[in-house]
Structure 1
Amino acid sequence: MRTKFSIELMALTDELAHMARLTQEAAERGAAALTGADLTAAYEVFALEEQVQVEHAKCEDRSVILLALEAPVARDLRHVVTAMQIADDLLAVSGALSRVADVVVRRYPNPVAPQHVIALLSEIAEAVIHLVDHSVRVIAAQNPPRDRVLIPRDENLDRLRVQLLEIAADDGWDHGPAMAIDIALLAHHYERCADHCVRIGRLIRFFHTGIPLYAQVEA
């Protein structure tokens, strides 16, 4: 019985890792769509979100079965509960990336913003790709460091987001309110992606150490 339970836990982790890799690919395709007004890349983001939703359902079903039938305790319970929450975070990241692709599709064949704004968006998108990649590696790690934050906030990303919002809200902005709103929404969607990635790091640390999220302090 214990062997079967261990196999199920491994399968849950594998499904979570696959979900994370799909999300990473969505972040990369989303950046390509945004910076190049690439309609094909935008639709690839939508397709990847659908795959992430399928993997999320698999993780959810397996987690519920493990909780209902196996009655895990201590570390095993943390494993299952943490996996469920990480799956929710990855689904949220994928959804936010789809909203980015929505803007690209709606504005196609035109770019989503002037070139100097797209340059800032490109930097933000690359920062989010890095955070999602970091999430993939943290999820797959067998023994991550226990004495520090696993996925720290990207202060440069926060700075870029504020800069982007200031440009869109500036009195000299002459590209219309609709585009300004789109830019603010893009900044919000990427901020959500970053927040969920940071939370994934905290969840993984909770799993390995038992330190609650609220007690984890940024270094």
Structure 2
Amino acid sequence: MRTKFSSELAALTEELAGLASLAQESTERVAVAVTEANLTAAYEVFAIDEQLRQRHGACENRAVILLALEAPVARDLRQVVSAMQIGDDLAQMSWLTSRIADRVVHHYPAPVAPADIISVLGEIGHATAELAAVAQRAIAAHNPAADDPPVLPDRTLADARQRLLQSVSDPDWPHGHVMAVDLALLVHHYERCAEHCVRIGRLIRFFHTGLPLSAQTPED
């Protein structure tokens, strides 16, 4: 019985790693879609979102069955609960990137912003994709070192976000209120993606140490 349970836990972990790879790929493709006004990349983001949602459902079902039928305890219980929450975070990241891709499609063939703003969006998109890659590697690491750092907030991302928001809120902003609101929303979507990545790191720390998220600090 224990062998079967361990096998199911391993399968759950593999499914979660697959979801993380899809979410990370989505952040990469949406960055291309935004910076290049690339319609193909935008539709790839939609396809990834659909695939991730289907696989998330299967992952969630496996986790629920493990909870309901196997009654895991201690570390095993933490693994299943963490996996369910991480899966939700990854699904939210995919949904957010698909909303960003929506704006690319809406504006096509024009870019979503002027060239100087596109360059800042490129910084934000690249930093978000890097953060998603860190989260993906953390999920895929079966036996991480005890002192491995969690997924920490990215200062580059925060600085670029602040610069963009200052630009669109400037009284002399020349591109109209509609574009300003659009860009603020895009930045918010990217920010939420980054927050989900950081939360994933904290969930992984909870799984390995038992330290609740509420007791963790950003520097832990």
Give deviations 1:184-213, integer Å, cap 9, x for gaps: 011000000000000000000100000111
In 2: Cα distance, 1:148 partner to 1:33 partner: 33
Paired with 1:154 and 1:51, the residues of 2 have a C-alpha distance of: 28
1:79 lines up with 2:111 in the alignment:
no
Q: Distance in 1 between matches of 2:211 and 2:181?
A: 39
Once the 2 structures are TM-superposed, how far is the Cα of residue 144 of structure 1 from its aligned partner? Answer: 2.3
- 1:54 positional shift: 0.8
Structure 2 alignment gaps of length 5 or more: none
Per the alignment, residue 63 of structure 2 pairs with 63
Q: How many residues align?
A: 219
Q: Deviations over 1:50-82 (max 9, x none)?
A: 011011101110011000000000000001000
Give the alignment of 1:101-112 within 5 angstroms: 101-112=101-112
- Matches of 1:179 and 1:60 in 2, distance apart? 38
**Root mean square deviation of aligned Cα:** 0.9
Counterparts of residues 5-154 of structure 1 (less than 5 Å): 5-147=5-147, 149-154=149-154
**TM-score w.r.t. length of structure 1:** 0.98
Length-normalised TM-score, structure 2: 0.97
> How much does 1:149 deviate?
4.0
Amino acid at match of 1:170: D
Instruction: Name the residue aligned to 2:193.
Output: 193
Equivalent in the alignment of 1:172: 172
Letter in 2 for 1:207: F
Cα distance, 1:147 vs structure 2: 4.2
1:218 corresponding residue in structure 2 = 218
Task: Quote the Cα distance in structure 1 between the aligned partners of 2:149 and 2:88.
Answer: 20
Identity %: 59
Q: For the structure 1 residues 149 and 216, does the alpha-carbon distance in structure 2 shift closer, same or farther, using more than 3 Å as the test?
A: farther
1:150 offset after TM fit, Å? 0.9
Q: Say if 1:128 and 1:194, in contact at 8 Å, map to a contact too.
A: yes
Q: CA deviation at 1:167?
A: 0.4
